[in-house]
A and B are shown apart, each in its own frame.
Chain A
């Protein structure tokens, strides 16, 4: 084939993920016959326009925004490979209709995110921000306004029990927790029994957990899923941890729960708008740990994301069905099948 398989690399990789991009291009793509890759220009909102997408067979997406408008007249594109697992900035039905597969990288994210959750759970339990501040300012343990608490025997809960939730419970199995509970309409008790997880309703997760974690996608069903009534159900000694997506939680309700001490504290890696405004009321509170939606952003995560995304793209380049497809319907779509057929030649 004289015309190579063209991979478009979304603009934001060059500013946000230059090192892992370089790693992946060198390890996975350089020297593969028939493969070419180049920058995909996007606008200030990271929106990819049809003119930009038209010449590519595949796209690496980071925070890239792809709408129905992006795909108008785009005939060649066969796959959008997102580095990561969220796809709230991508119009999935529009991709399916255009015969484009969307792939994500579940294998790469589960461990780093799970570890980020434990980092917040342990830092909150041991009150580490205050401990560090007291130790640095010449004070000592008698000056601590409260003691750290033990993890042993406590209840770990999760809103969502899919890829990341299950990995979290798997690792937590030997950390000394007393009980695991989770809610997830798409998972059966049988599927999580081996992890020791009891499936319960969402109210029970909030009412009975010592640590409530959020491990679900952001979509129409989960937007504002966590509301004031849920924080009111929580124990005053319990902690809330969100490393998933900001808009899943009603931010004002979270702020109120923390300000009025309905709960003991929170670990927040994600915000309704990112970066958050400088006057986000969370920043005034001392019972919260905030992070820049990057607590899981390890070197390994980004390299593994890129490796998994490259494997998906390379499968498509050979005319094969890739792993990690989100829109399974596309696999039967005549347009997508025709693209695979063309690539197989």
Chain B
């Protein structure tokens, strides 16, 4: 039987998942539910394995580790980040690398909707007021009939745009590469920013998108609009965004991502009442984690069948 190593399932996620039985059906599994703690132990745990399912990004799969594992042919990473693996070395040594993209898209789109609704209905603030004995009525924002501007139409952006339509919003979109086949109204960026009651960001962070929503673009948004960011913090000019929230130019923001994460204690955003924050957790639901584990296992199975899927290298 072909040997598969799981060197780093700590705390255990794969070992307690239904996908683990499937993995056992794919090959002989050598399973470790502690962290290796060192490159030497990591390499030892991978010895003799043709495939590795890498659970934790704390396991640094360096050139040295790869060179000590001559039987290794593929690494299936659970997650989308690949920075814990030396991809150049893997390429040079003929080791294929796969990851599990898009499994959390549905969860992130739902989380984006949750943030948008919570900002509109002042959810954490109103709950705290009522618990403190107040009875503040009126002034809620209705989203039905309002305009939602979705920037970026990858898997997450297009799902969120559909959710916006579901609750009766008029959806405008802008992407770097327009996708007319999706059927959304695609407009120039300036028009989207000027017309939208809510702007939601769904771009990948790159050198092109760093600082994308800068002070000038924030200023071109409708007065009293809301901003939602579940993409990456640096896509927005954070100080300019905070100034707009303080001046009232932006009525509120729902933010899952920040310039510096975790958000440093005492950060000005943590004292603002017109924002709803979450700790970069939009993609973390049991369903998304399970879907990722299932895909990581299927990536190994596909490789053993001679078909590579979700290859990074």
**Which positions in A face B, CB cutoff 8 Å?**
16-17, 19, 111-112, 115-116, 118-119, 122-123, 125-126, 128-129, 131-141, 143-144, 147-152, 171-176, 274-276, 278, 283, 289-302
Instruction: Provide the bound-state CA to CA distance between A123 and B131, in Å.
Output: 17
> Given that A135-B278, A140-B279 are contacting pairs, would A148 and B107 also be in contact in the complex, using a CB cutoff of 8 Å?
yes
Instruction: Provide the bound-state CA to CA distance between A260 and B289, in Å.
Output: 28
A-B contact pairs, 30 of them (CB 8 A): A17-B138, A112-B142, A115-B142, A119-B118, A119-B120, A122-B113, A123-B117, A126-B110, A126-B111, A128-B114, A131-B277, A132-B277, A135-B277, A135-B279, A136-B263, A136-B270, A137-B265, A140-B262, A150-B287, A152-B106, A174-B162, A174-B166, A176-B106, A176-B163, A278-B133, A292-B130, A299-B139, A300-B145, A301-B140, A302-B138
Pick from A140, A149, A300: contact of B285, CB below 8 A: A149
Q: Residues of B contacting A143 with CB < 8 Å?
A: 279
| Pair A291/B120 contact, Cβ less than 8 Å | no
| Pair B281/A122 contact, Cβ less than 8 Å | no
Indicate the member of B127, B263, B287 with the most A CB atoms within 10 Å. Answer: B127
Q: Residues of A contacting B126 with CB < 8 Å?
A: 291-292, 294-295
| Pair A123/B270 contact, Cβ less than 8 Å | no
Q: Residues of B contacting A302 with CB < 8 Å?
A: 138
Instruction: Provide the bound-state CA to CA distance between A131 and B111, in Å.
Output: 11
The closest CB in chain B to the CB of A153 belongs to B287
The closest CB in chain A to the CB of B126 belongs to A291
| Pair A139/B117 contact, Cβ less than 8 Å | no
| Pair B142/A301 contact, Cβ less than 8 Å | yes
> Given that A118-B117, A138-B263, A138-B264 are contacting pairs, would A297 and B276 also be in contact in the complex, using a CB cutoff of 8 Å?
no
Scoring B residues 112 to 154 as 1 if CB is less than 8 Å from chain A, else 0, what string do you get? Answer: 0111011011011011011101111111111111000000000
CB of A314, distance to nearest CB on chain B (Å): 24
| Pair B110/A176 contact, Cβ less than 8 Å | yes
> Given that A119-B120, A175-B166 are contacting pairs, would A131 and B133 also be in contact in the complex, using a CB cutoff of 8 Å?
no
Q: B165 on the interface (CB 8 Å rule)? A: yes
| Pair A294/B265 contact, Cβ less than 8 Å | no
Q: B280 on the interface (CB 8 Å rule)? A: yes
Pick from A140, A276, A299: contact of B261, CB below 8 A: A140
Instruction: Provide the bound-state CA to CA distance between A135 and B257, in Å.
Output: 10
Instruction: Provide the bound-state CA to CA distance between A296 and B111, in Å.
Output: 21
Q: B286 on the interface (CB 8 Å rule)? A: yes
Instruction: Provide the bound-state CA to CA distance between A150 and B83, in Å.
Output: 28
| Pair B281/A147 contact, Cβ less than 8 Å | yes
Instruction: Provide the bound-state CA to CA distance between A291 and B129, in Å.
Output: 8
| Pair B130/A149 contact, Cβ less than 8 Å | no
Instruction: Provide the bound-state CA to CA distance between A136 and B255, in Å.
Output: 11
> Given that A123-B123, A138-B264 are contacting pairs, would A298 and B286 also be in contact in the complex, using a CB cutoff of 8 Å?
no
Pick from A115, A148, A297: contact of B281, CB below 8 A: A148
> Given that A132-B124, A132-B278, A147-B286 are contacting pairs, would A274 and B118 also be in contact in the complex, using a CB cutoff of 8 Å?
no
| Pair B138/A122 contact, Cβ less than 8 Å | no
Instruction: Provide the bound-state CA to CA distance between A134 and B265, in Å.
Output: 10
